[in-house]
Amino acid sequence: MADEPLVLGIETSCDETGVGIVRGTTLLADAVASSVNDHARYGGVVPEIASRAHLEAMVPTIQRALDTAGVKASDLDGIAVTAGPGLAGALLVGVSAAKAYAWALDKPLYGVNHLASHICVDQLEHGRLPSPTMALLVSGGHSSLLLSEDITSDVRPLGATIDDAAGEAFDKVARVLGLGFPGGPVVDRMAREGDPRSIAFPRGLSGAKDPAYDFSFSGLKTAVARWVEAKRRAGEDVPVADVAASFQEAVTDVLTRKAVKACKDSGVDHLMIGGGVAANSRLREMAQQRCDKAGIRLRVPRPGLCTDNGAMVAALGSEMVWRGRTPSSADLSADSSLPVTEVHVPAAGAAAGAGGAGADGGAHGDVHGQAYRALGGGR
C-alpha cells in the first residue's frame, strides 16, 4: 500500500553490509555486500577488516538498494539502523551512515536492536506477528528464547546460551573437521551424507534439574574435538560426514525440544525461528516435525532472510514508524552489548565508550562524508 511507511534499513553488526527497503511489510530491496571471504583465511571475523569493508561498501550498497526498489532517497519515511548488539567498530560505521542520511534527508532515525530485527523480518513473508510471539533466535553470537508481546517495545528473554552459541559451535566443529569458515553451511551440507545416529554426542543442559530454557554448546564442541582427536591418535580415518551429522543432530535436538517446551509452558501456539542457524536444513525439518506433533504453528523465514541483512532492520523500522514510536536522537551511538529488552534506542547515550577513537573513529568520520557527498552535499 502506498500509504504504508517506506523505510530503509542498514545492518552492519558483523561482516555483512546489509541494506533493505521495506514498504509496510512488503520487501522492495535487499542488498548485501559480504566480506566473509576476507575473514575466511583467519578462521573467523576480524573486527577491523569488517569495519573497513563496511566503510567501502556502504554508499554503493545503499544506492543499489534504492535502484532495485525503484525509489529515491527523498521518498523515504525513515532510516533504521542496527544500534547493537554486535562488533563496536562495525556498528559505528552503520550508525554513522544512518545518521548522515537521516540528517541530509531530514528523515526520522531509528536505532534498533539486532535480535528484535531477526524476529520482525518474518513479517515480510508471513504477515504481521501474532501477539504474543515466541521466538527462537540462533546465530553465531546468540542462542535465545524470547517472548514478545509487541516487537517494537516488549521483548522478554526466557533463556539464552551460557557459553558458546549454536553458530559458534558450528564454526568450531567445522574447524576441527577441516571444513573451513563459515562452518554452518558446510557442516549442513556434509551432514546430509552422514548418519546422525552413528555417534552419541551429549545434549547440554538437558537434565531434569537443568535450566529449562538455557543452552550450552561448549561441552558438545569439546566432545566432538576429543572424539576426532582420539580417532586421529589411533591412526584411524575420521568419518567426517557422520561426525557432522551427529553433531548437528545434537544441536538441533536441544534447540527444538526447548523451543517447543517454551511454547507449551507459555501457552503460545506458534513458534518463530530466526538468525543465521535458522537456515540449517535439519533444524527446519526437526522443528516442523515437533511443532506439527505439538499442534504449534511454525514460522521460519526463507534462508536468505535468516542471515544478517538490511531487510530485517527495515522491517522493524517500518513497524516503528507505523506504530508511531519515538525516533532516536541525533546523537545516537552504538552499543555492542545492547540488551534485547531495548528494542530501540529513542534517547541519547546508547553506549558508553563505543565510539570514535583510533581507526574506527576514522571510519566513523569517513562514512559521514561519503553519505553527505552521495546526496549531493546536503539537503
**Length of the chain, in residues:** 379
Q: Are strands 270-274 and 133-138 parallel, antiparallel or unpaired?
A: parallel
Residues in the annotated binding site for Fe cation: 114, 118, 308
Q: Write the secondary structure of the chain as one string of H (helix), E (strand) and C (coil).
A: CCCCCEEEEEECCCCEEEEEEEECCEEEEEEEEECHHHHHCCCCCCHHHHHHHHHHHHHHHHHHHHHHHCCCHHHCCEEEEEEECCCHHHHHHHHHHHHHHHHHHCCCEEEEEHHHHHHHCCHHHHCCCCCCEEEEEECCCCEEEEEEEECCCEEEEEEEECCCCHHHHHHHHHHHCCCCCCHHHHHHHHHCCCCCCCCCCCCCCCCCCCCCCCECCHHHHHHHHHHHHHHHHCCCCCCHHHHHHHHHHHHHHHHHHHHHHHHHHHCCCEEEEECHHHHCHHHHHHHHHHHHHHCCEEECCCHHHHCCCHHHHHHHHHHHHHCCCCCCCCCCCCCCCCCCCCCEECCCCCCCCCCCCHHHHHHHHHHHHHHHHHCCCCC
**Listed residue (238, 212, 213) closest to 227, CA to CA:** 238
Query: Amino acid letter at 273?
Result: I
Q: Which residues are annotated as a binding site for substrate?
A: 137-141, 171, 184, 188, 280
* Binding site listing: 114, 118, 137-141, 171, 184, 188, 280, 308
Phi then psi dihedrals of residue 127, to 5 deg: 85, 180
CA nearest to 55, candidates 84, 85, 19, 96: 96
